[in-house]
Amino acid sequence: MTGYIVRRLLWMVVVLWAIVTITFLLMHAVEGGPFTRERELPPSVIDALNHKYGLDKPVFSFDVWNSQYGQYVGNLVQGDLGSSFSNVDQPVSELIRDGFWVSMQLGLLAFVFAVVLGMTAGTISALNHNRLPDYLGVFFSTAGASMPNFILAGILIPIFAVELGWFDVLGWEFGNYKKMVLPVVALGVLPAAYFARITRASMLEVLNQDYIRTARAKGLAEQAVVLRHAVKNAMVPILTVMGPYLAFLITGSFLVESVFSIPGVGRRFVDAVLVRDYGMIMGTVIFYTVFIAFANLFVDVLYGTVDPRIRYS
């Protein structure tokens, strides 16, 4: 196992270098730059800004350390992600740290919401196969999976914030339910629907297995049959999708963050692309790469823990 993890970590470095290089190349290939404005800056100002941020050097050069790419990689190796162009005087690492802290709270809560709701709905559906609870569960999993989170947010806000006044529209404050419920629900319903569908399918398959029939024949209580034997064995396919979804929820909440004006890292990333904030684009791409790589590694290791039949060599 240790050797496997070390090999994965080494590959991670290679992947990171490739992504840094490709992103750097694409970022500079796109039209416009960080100082391209609707309100155009005079050439003398553009020159001064380019000099200030080192953009007057060639993007790539055989004289690597005198190129923008070489300088960036050199700084990166030393752990320096540079400064943001659109949040002047603010280090990219601090902006990502602050944004990620919020995105992680939102994503984790949405994940918990999705897991609890999805697995509960899926299990109830499977246990009541082809009966009303099953139909309702299938409806939920179909409707929920069909609805993008920003559309759902657009439905939730007028009803629960504007009309009923139960929740707020703006911002994020951990511990303040008025600011937390709507973003968490908006973000969590789609994965909940997906988890419900996977859980239902997996449970239906497991419930028809011989060992379930045997457990019931032994006289085990239905609760024990479901929790100890059925849910347990139905978890592997669910777990397979949970890992990527956790990473997705933590990193991919841009639309929900935008709709609710939540200062998360997803919103920062998209905004950075729109204004060609080179420092922030690179920083967030690197951060996402490392985060998703570690999330996938974690899930792979978890497989081995959950299912002893899986061995890594």
Partner 1 sequence: MRPITHWCRLLLSLAALGALFAVIACGDDEKKPVGDTDTPTPAAGARIDGGEITVQSQEFASLDPHFSSFAQDISLHRMLWRGLYTLDIDNVPQPSMADGAHQVSADGKTYTVKLKEGLKWSDGDDLLAEDFVAGILRTCNPVNAGEYQYVLTEVVGCDAYYTALAGPDGEAKTADDIKATDPAVAALEDAVGVKAIDNLTLEIKLSSEKPTFPIILSLWMTFPVPVHLDRFANATPDEPGAWGTDPAALVYNGPYVLTAYSPKDSVVLAPNANWAAPAGVKPTLAKITIQFIDDLAQAANAYRTGELQSTDVDLTQLESLVTEFGDGEEYFKFLAPSTRGLEMNLEKPPLDKFEVRLALSQAIDRAALNTVVVQGGNEPSTSWVPAVTGGHDPTDFDADIGFDPAAAKTNLEAAGYPNGAGFPKLTILVGNTPAAKDTAAFLKDAFKTNLNIDVAVESVDSATRSDRFTEEQFDLFPGGWIQDYPDPENWILGLFDTPGTLNHYNCSDPDIDAKVAEARANTDDAARKALYKDINELIVTRICGIAPYWHENNHYLIKPQIVGMRENMSGQDGVIAGDWAAESWGLSE
- Per CB under 8 A, contacts with partner 1 among 230-249 are 231-232, 235
CA distance 167 to 161: 5
CB of 189 to partner 1, least distance (A): 14
Our finding on whether 70 is near partner 1 (CB under 8 A) is no
Is residue 39 at the binding interface for partner 1, with CB under 8 A as the rule? Answer: yes
Q: Distances from the Cα of 246 to the Cαs of 148, 218, 221, in angstroms?
A: 17, 38, 33
Region of 13-21, 138-146, 166-174, 244-252 interacting with partner 1 (CB under 8 A): 166-174
**What's the min distance (Å) between Cβ of 120 and partner 1?**
10
Per CB under 8 A, 33 contacts partner 1? yes
Q: How far apart are CA 267 and CA 258, in angstroms?
A: 6
| Among the residue ranges 10-18, 140-148, 174-182, 196-204, the one whose residues contact partner 1 (CB under 8 A) | 174-182
- Touching partner 1, residues 100-119 (CB under 8 A): 108-109, 112-113, 115-116, 119
Tokens 């600011």 correspond to what residue? 179
Does 52 interact with partner 1 (rule: CB under 8 A)?
Answer: yes
Q: Which of residues 175-204 bind partner 1 (CB under 8 A)?
A: 175-178, 180-181, 184
48 lies in the site for partner 1, by CB under 8 A: yes
Contacts (CB under 8 A) with partner 1, residues 244-273: 258-261, 263-264, 267-268
Distance CA 31, CA 243 (A): 36
- Contacting range for partner 1; rule: CB under 8 A; set: 2-10, 37-45, 198-206, 218-226: 37-45
Q: In this complex, which beta carbon is closest to partner 1, that of residue 36 or of residue 142?
A: 36
